[in-house]
Amino acid sequence: MASTDAISGLRFDLNQGSVRDLNQRLHQPGGGGPVLIANPGGRHAIAVGLDAPWKVEIDGHVGYYCAGMNQQASVRVRGNCGVGVAENMMSGVVNVDGSASQAAGATARGGMLVINGDASARCGISLKGADIVVRGSVGHMSAFMAQRGALVVCGDAGEALGDSLYEARLYVRGSVGSLGADCVEKDVRAEHLEQLRGLLAAAGVDDADPLEFRRFGSARQLYNFHVDNLGAY
Amino acid sequence: MAAENGAAPGAGWHPGLQESATFDRGSIAEIQRAAREGIYDIRGFGAKRKVPHFDDLLFLGASVSRYPLEGYRERCGTEVVIGTRYAREPVKLDIPITIAGMSFGALSGQAKEALGRGATELGTSTTTGDGGMTPEEREHSRTLVYQLLPSRYGMNPDDLRRADAIEIVVGQGAKPGGGGMLLGQKISERVAAMRDLPPGIDQRSACRHPDWTGPDDLEIKVEELREITDWRIPIYVKVGAARPYYDVALAVKAGADAIVLDGMQGGTAATQNVFIEHVGIPILAAIPQAVQSLVDLGLHRQVQLIVSGGIRTGADVAKALALGADAVSIGVAALIALGDNAPEHDAAYREIGSAAGYYDDWQAGLDPAGISTQDPDLAARLDPVEAGHRLANYLRVLTLETQTLARACGKSHVHNLEPEDLVALTVEAAAMAKVPLAGTSWIPGLS
């Protein structure tokens, strides 16, 4: 099911071969270079656990956990994603042309996730250092318990944004349904504008002015359990 | 009545004093503490209340109808293989006693190293915990199970590939349905860095996984982990004992190679006392339900069952295996073997309001034994080599005791122990363990 072209690199047709065969090939030592995956058909766990400078293009929709735990690789999905795209990513770039389901970029520790459509609930949940840029809107409970990294939302954010937030930075251009516990709006200073400019540029977003964004972060009132905060628990 | 609850009558006591069975001194003290502090009691250790347990079972032993094996001559096998269902490289252990998941963070680095040393000496496995895998732990553990927990603290694919098995933690016996909190006083620079959080703040561990909900999602999560590790290593699913028949069935359906079932007596580093004592069911009641689930699926002994929660002796191990488990796991007992609650620390325990034999404030980071702490001076009190040797000794005794009981029942392998070898001392234990009340053929609910 795999074929190699000297110019365009590896090509996998998932109507002809299995996800197992694909991932096994991409896990071989010394990997890297262009890979085209045809007919993904919403299959789960496509291109997971990569640890080489592959440049993967997936021509269609994918199921759960596409590019999960990615290291080094660049993965582009020319379609929509199921739950948990780029979950626990360590490095590299994952770019989704369409929209993403729940828990996009969950617990991701490094690298960048770009979603050109919308992201559903819990985008960036427990984020641990990666950067996520969403050109559309995100659903409720996004950045729940997010620890490090940044979530940039060019559209709107749903309810309970940043609930129980730690040190992650959240930027939203549109409306916010509501803020979660311990999440507050903060001033946008020069350092934040500079970070935003960098993130938008890295994500290829050239139609959003950093000055249009608001910043949200942790009030740090719930960092240590205290009975006086009982109403917040 | 006053003397019945264990405490010696003090000055002024006289036989006319009557203690309430409902509002006993412990209950009164807790009401007074709650009124004073306004916050629930958080502690470590496991359930302290008395529940039906392995003590309520007895082995019948061999006699005319069955012949025993010679204790010092005839072999009684103890090896166990875990993960034969799907993994290319199943976990092979020399003894059916494993070390439960306990985090670096909750425990000192020295304690984690000692667990690895002791387990490796006896050819068994240790398990990481909430907070990731440390290089020392990997180095000193021949077989290391890497936990995937809801918090995903420290989770990374390199460690996943370095592991010998993966354990997806859905819950634990001390708090089925609960998350956790590592209090700020135990968050050193190193612990904080491993968890991607600032030092000194409470680190909450979520009660649900961030990227899957329910058994159908779990099946896909298992598939992803297998793909990342190229179907090489086993995947366990750990559940707290609550509804074991259904939880086991769903975990098996999701593709688990092995089930880890933790009874309510299982330990914790920090949980509300009310949670520890009032949620979940005893391991004695849970094992038969889990085994029945596997039997009904035709997968008993193909999907291995590892049980935990209150294992102290070889008798406990043997009884768990006889009820159908493939292996057991120890946490609290392993820490006690390392030196937790040791009499030599009694004076230090008393200085912090406890005493040897009672210490359970594992959440506080003040452990005089150097085990449940991140204080470098306290942690330095624990010699990982000596503590590891004590654990190895303890594991040897557990194994020898288990073999002794198995041979007495005529078994050439500890896995040949079976429910037919057991009777119960109480009606409750007979009903839970589904073995006859001693001296009768009566199994409540079945016969």
Of B38, B211, B229, the CB nearest to A227: B38
Residue-wise pLDDT for A8-64, tens only, equals: 579 999 999 999 999 999 999 999 999 999 999 999 999 999 999 999 999 999 999
Chain B nearest-CA residue for A87: B211
Q: Report CB contact under 8 Å: B202, A88.
A: no
Chain-chain contact of A88 with B181 (C-beta, under 8 angstroms): no
Asked if B152 and A88 come within 8 Å (Cβ–Cβ), the reply is yes
Per-residue pLDDT tens over the stretch B172-215: 999 999 987 777 777 888 888 888 888 888 888 889 999 999 99
CA distances from A40 to A77, A78, A225, B222 (A): 10, 10, 46, 19
Find all residues with CB under 8 Å of B216, minimum gap 6, and list them. none
The model's pLDDT over A65-77, given as tens digits with 9 standing for 90+, comes to: 999 999 999 999 9
Residue pair A140/A120 in contact by the 8 Å Cβ criterion: no
d(CA B395, nearest CA chain A) in Å: 36
Q: What's the pLDDT at A4?
A: 67
A68 to chain B: which residues are within 8 Å by CB? 224, 228
CB contact under 8 A, A87 and B211: yes
What is the CA angle B308-B309-B314, rounded to 5?
Answer: 70
Residue B35 in contact with partner chain A when CB distance is under 8 A: no
Contact A109 B204 (CB under 8 A): no
| Mutate which: A22, A24, A25, A48, vs B, most B CBs within 10 A | A48
Chain A residues with CB under 8 Å of B204 CB are 145, 164
Domains of chain A: 41-222 (2.160.20.60)
The answer to whether A106 contacts B196, with C-beta atoms less than 8 Å apart, is: no
B210 part of contact set with chain A, CB < 8 Å: yes
pLDDT tens, position by position, A168-200: 999 999 999 999 999 999 999 999 999 999 999
Strands lying side by side in the sheet with B235-240: B97-99, B327-330, B304-308, B258-262, B235-240, B165-169, B143-148, B125-127
Q: Which domains does chain B have, with CATH numbers?
A: 2-39 (no CATH), 54-433 (3.20.20.70)
pLDDT per residue as tens digits for the range B131-144: 899 998 999 999 99
Contact B227 A45 (CB under 8 A): yes
- Predicted local distance difference test score (pLDDT) of residue B408: 96
Nearest Cα of chain B lies from the Cα of A212 at a distance, in angstroms, of: 29
Using a cut of 0.90, tell me whether the model's pTM lies above it: yes
Q: Work out the average pLDDT over B95-100.
A: 98
CB A123 within 8 A of CB A143: yes
The residues facing A128 across adjacent strands are: A148
Checking if the pLDDT of A1 tops 90, the result is no
Q: List all residues of chain B from 143 to 182 with a beta carbon under 8 Å from chain A.
A: 151-152, 155-158, 160-161, 181
* pLDDT of amino acid B201: 84
| Mean pLDDT over the full length of chain A | 95
Q: What is the pLDDT of residues B209-238, one digit of tens each?
A: 999 999 999 999 999 999 999 999 999 999
Nearest to A65 among B156, B224, B229 (CB): B224
**What is the average per-residue pLDDT within B63-73?**
89
Min Cα distance B158 → chain A (Å) is 9
Contact criterion met (CB < 8 Å) for B224 and A227 = no
